Chains A and B, each alone.
Chain A
């Protein structure tokens, strides 16, 4: 039986639990806890004149009502601005409960605690808040004009403004390069809002132990370690007295990396104050109006190019709508601005964004995190150039590719982690060859003509992207082998269904030479591992995967040292296979890893047959050395960290064939193909699963999902009735092919894969619809109704 599991299509070990209802989500815990509910602002912009709770006081089962006035110091302060950036000159965050002004529908105003959620909602419904209406600021361009302000001290509603500029090799600025180019195009693009929309919303459950003054918090979060630090800081507790656990989490997709949410501070605070367990589970309406959205941007593009389609200069001006607050800084527009260039090496580039406040839900990263907008911009530009020159769309792309021998390739920009944007590896021409072959690009013209003869309208589209993955600063891994031969792996970052229990176990099993079923994995539990950053930016496999591999190598070295002593052999002659250390070429001379674990921990007391071997009279120890050698520690365990110098860059290309109905304007995806390169694959099946999920969300963003705000700042489609996420019936079969260009930046040679699937989908679908219809597509998503209107416009 082989223990080489890295790269194998191992079935997901977590699935049996998750799909048979055995998962343990926050709401499965704390059934006896008090329930919290929130009174949230029904207005987008208003001043709170008065809060009258008197009617609610009669509700039987009411425990407490809190407004901002009731909160103690620190708890009452504005929530932290997590990622300060010098360009974010006017960063603003919300108070945990509104203080005086509400700035979006859904902002929490009053917290109610009651015996159960029904009663808490009854009481909340009886609380009367008297509001004085203020002018709501809605719509990115209206907001940018600054006639009315979201924050009185933020002129023009501009939270941040950033320009990055890379001159051409000849030293020309983008403006000059464009002006000097043989061909120039300029156009505007629009990208609407969507949201992460995990199946499980947010949720917090807190238990205060008054006897030892410690707090245990379960939160549906993407970062338990950082939530822990935030809670300890807000509540003035010593860090060791706070534990935060992310149990099973039903999806995150970015929204749960934001922290601490108001509820993550208020629920533990109330639990401490009341001396009782308190739980809050977000409902779907709350998720729509009080968590976070993403994507909304307006882009103005100017591009200059030559007869072959080489981009000589590109100038992009972006208006980014970040909603009412900026707790997560300006990561999203930075990523748009810097990842926009994709696999291309262009002449000169200038990008400028202004990040704008509006009276809407805050905008924070959602899977793809600004890249879908950037890729939409670049790929629409490539298609426009091709159309202008009458060239094949793939030719124009190929003309601009960075070539395989040009890595590492420095784009000359500063990335989201503050480090230079240097691509580590890739092979874009090969990727293009593969995607063209997979979708049948060259044979499509015939297919299209044949369909047209039968009254059907087909189109083909393509989109390319590069994705910075595995951003720092670090992650760690701890690996312990116990005397039963089991391997316990823990890492601090959290899991939301990605398959970490499987891939981290594959890595550990491969590194240590043990069977997979001997390995267990714990993530996101600060009791097991306290140092971590979190799960976002397609970083878990790269960061924790490598950290776990490094920790395993430490354990392996130690195991070989101890086993060498026991077997009286040279450690270099040993190998571990199937959980047993043996001398190469002499299978008889062997010792199980569990026994090595026993020997690693010199004992005074024997508590079972196994441990007798490690006690002081067992005769195994050398009398010349201390039982624990200098530089050693008892136990067969190891801890290590991985902290890369910079991000690693995955890439991919998607292509699709769509059919549009000439009469009903319905849009159907007939085929969808993906070529994906995330370096070495730990588990191709899990990577494909990630791609499928990403493409499904991409299809949502391309054809279905919008956040429809009216002029008053009311979200008109805050339910699954009207916010349309694709069902399985709307998601096409996805054909995938893998390319593996290893990353030189980490020991395992891997790159991130979590977000990839979603990134180019809007660009691809727009490209395909444009090809089918012959109508320029410059905004996404697009619905049949939109297409009908575009046809009418084109006909008139």
Chain B
């Protein structure tokens, strides 16, 4: 388990990084946290001839709360985003999901953007980006910057819209609108494993506390995070009188999971229904609580 030979690059600036990536083209691979890439290299499942280590590009190590959301730079570690209280205020779903990403030592090293670019459909962050309608910013040497929305970013299992020569420089996670709650529920075989099934939910209430919109992004049930809008099944009712069993049924009917050595397709379908329902109910409760808080402060 030793990687095959590669040229190692350690650029100091974004410009230099992009130049090297442009030169390497399809033979280049970006090393950020390395939590997925290094095992792939060691098992010789990936054998890039150029490894571009961006860990010295300080300009990419940023987490900022901007107008309308959170922008996370390519070098920001999971742990930094998870621990940031301003991020948690601006977009609580990030912290909720990051707690479920692997283990603390991996989160100390792994990066949010790296996880998105790795595009594992079982991972939490692609589902979060998807349910929030976030986006990823891609840059290339002597070319335009592209802002790719989540719906277009994940193109298949372990495949994203990042093209040879491009670097994902940041990701943007929009904040939630008012009277909106979110939640992430998953079941993994062991603590910190990729989930057998999971759901990131966002629920918005109207002025009368009826469900205006309800969406879930489901993990491990398709080649990319599967986004389902279940607003219609919630039938514009208050959370307490929604037919949640019908919502779970609807989710199960609309997904087409595959079985693997950890879970049969039938179990995964069942479990996704359970978890989507749990996440939606928590999100709806949170939206209602937020509304209550608003009222009490108002």
**B192: contacting residue among A284, A719, A729, A788, CB under 8 A:** A729
Contact: A666 with B262, CB < 8 Å?
no
**A722: contacting residue among B44, B261, B266, B267, CB under 8 A:** B261
Judged by a CB distance under 8 angstroms, whether A571 is at the interface is no
Contact: B262 with A792, CB < 8 Å?
no
Against A, the Cβ 8 Å flags (1 = close, 0 = not) of B255-274 are 00000011110111011001
Q: Is the interface of B mostly helix, strand, loop or mixed?
A: loop
A175: shortest Cβ distance to chain B, in Å?
39
Contact: B190 with A724, CB < 8 Å?
yes
Contact: A724 with B192, CB < 8 Å?
no
B25: shortest Cβ distance to chain A, in Å?
23
Size range of the chain B interface in the assembly: 20 to 34
Contact: A664 with B192, CB < 8 Å?
no
A643-668 CB contacts (< 8 Å) to partner B = 663-666
What are the residues of chain B within 8 A of A719 when measuring CB–CB?
43
Judged by a CB distance under 8 angstroms, whether A620 is at the interface is no
Q: A122-B4, A663-B274, A664-B271 are in contact. Are A785 and B262 (CB under 8 A)?
A: yes
What are the residues of chain A within 8 A of B293 when measuring CB–CB?
none
Cβ-closest chain A residue relative to B189: A724
Judged by a CB distance under 8 angstroms, whether A778 is at the interface is no
Judged by a CB distance under 8 angstroms, whether B2 is at the interface is yes
Judged by a CB distance under 8 angstroms, whether A9 is at the interface is no
Against B, the Cβ 8 Å flags (1 = close, 0 = not) of A435-478 are 00000000000000000000000000000000000000000000
A247: shortest Cβ distance to chain B, in Å?
22
Contact: B2 with A785, CB < 8 Å?
no
Contact: A729 with B266, CB < 8 Å?
no
Chosen A-B contacts, 8 in total, with CB atoms closer than 8 Å, are: A118-B3, A121-B1, A121-B44, A663-B274, A664-B187, A722-B262, A724-B262, A785-B262
What are the residues of chain A within 8 A of B103 when measuring CB–CB?
727
Judged by a CB distance under 8 angstroms, whether B196 is at the interface is yes
A-B contact sample (9 more), CB < 8 A, given A122-B5, A727-B103, A788-B267: A118-B2, A118-B5, A284-B1, A666-B187, A722-B262, A724-B190, A727-B191, A729-B190, A784-B196
Judged by a CB distance under 8 angstroms, whether A704 is at the interface is yes
What are the residues of chain B within 8 A of A125 when measuring CB–CB?
4, 44
Judged by a CB distance under 8 angstroms, whether A730 is at the interface is yes
**A727: contacting residue among B187, B190, B268, CB under 8 A:** B190
Number of residues in A with C-beta < 8 Å to the partner? 30
What are the residues of chain A within 8 A of B2 when measuring CB–CB?
117-118, 121
**A789: contacting residue among B43, B191, B267, CB under 8 A:** B267
B2, B5, B44, B275 pick with most chain A CB within 10 angstroms? B2
What are the residues of chain A within 8 A of B262 when measuring CB–CB?
722, 724, 783, 785
B44, B193, B267 pick with most chain A CB within 10 angstroms? B267
What are the residues of chain B within 8 A of A121 when measuring CB–CB?
1-2, 4, 44
Contact: A285 with B266, CB < 8 Å?
no
**B1: contacting residue among A285, A730, A783, CB under 8 A:** A285
What are the residues of chain A within 8 A of B267 when measuring CB–CB?
665, 784-785, 788-789
Contact: A730 with B191, CB < 8 Å?
yes
Pick the 7 closest A-B CB pairs, nearest first.
A729-B191, A283-B1, A785-B267, A785-B263, A788-B267, A118-B2, A663-B274
Residue ranges of B at the interface with A (Cβ–Cβ < 8 Å): 1-5, 43-44, 103, 187, 189-193, 196, 261-264, 266-268, 270-271, 274-275
B234: shortest Cβ distance to chain A, in Å?
20
What are the residues of chain A within 8 A of B263 when measuring CB–CB?
783-785
Judged by a CB distance under 8 angstroms, whether A726 is at the interface is yes
B189: shortest Cβ distance to chain A, in Å?
5
Contact: B193 with A724, CB < 8 Å?
yes
What are the residues of chain B within 8 A of A708 when measuring CB–CB?
261
Cβ-closest chain A residue relative to B1: A283
Inter-chain CA distance A122–B1, complex, in Å, is 11
Cβ-closest chain A residue relative to B187: A664
A236: shortest Cβ distance to chain B, in Å?
34
B117: shortest Cβ distance to chain A, in Å?
19
Contact: A792 with B266, CB < 8 Å?
yes
Judged by a CB distance under 8 angstroms, whether A168 is at the interface is no
What are the residues of chain A within 8 A of B196 when measuring CB–CB?
784-785
Judged by a CB distance under 8 angstroms, whether A163 is at the interface is no
Judged by a CB distance under 8 angstroms, whether A317 is at the interface is no
A624-676 CB contacts (< 8 Å) to partner B = 663-666
B221: shortest Cβ distance to chain A, in Å?
14
A65: shortest Cβ distance to chain B, in Å?
18
What are the residues of chain A within 8 A of B190 when measuring CB–CB?
704, 724, 726-727, 729-730
Inter-chain CA distance A717–B262, complex, in Å, is 10
Cβ-closest chain B residue relative to A716: B261
What are the residues of chain B within 8 A of A716 when measuring CB–CB?
261
**A788: contacting residue among B5, B191, B261, B266, CB under 8 A:** B266
Inter-chain CA distance A118–B189, complex, in Å, is 34
Cβ-closest chain A residue relative to B42: A283
A279: shortest Cβ distance to chain B, in Å?
14
A339: shortest Cβ distance to chain B, in Å?
30
**A785: contacting residue among B4, B43, B264, B275, CB under 8 A:** B264
What are the residues of chain A within 8 A of B268 when measuring CB–CB?
785
A793: shortest Cβ distance to chain B, in Å?
11
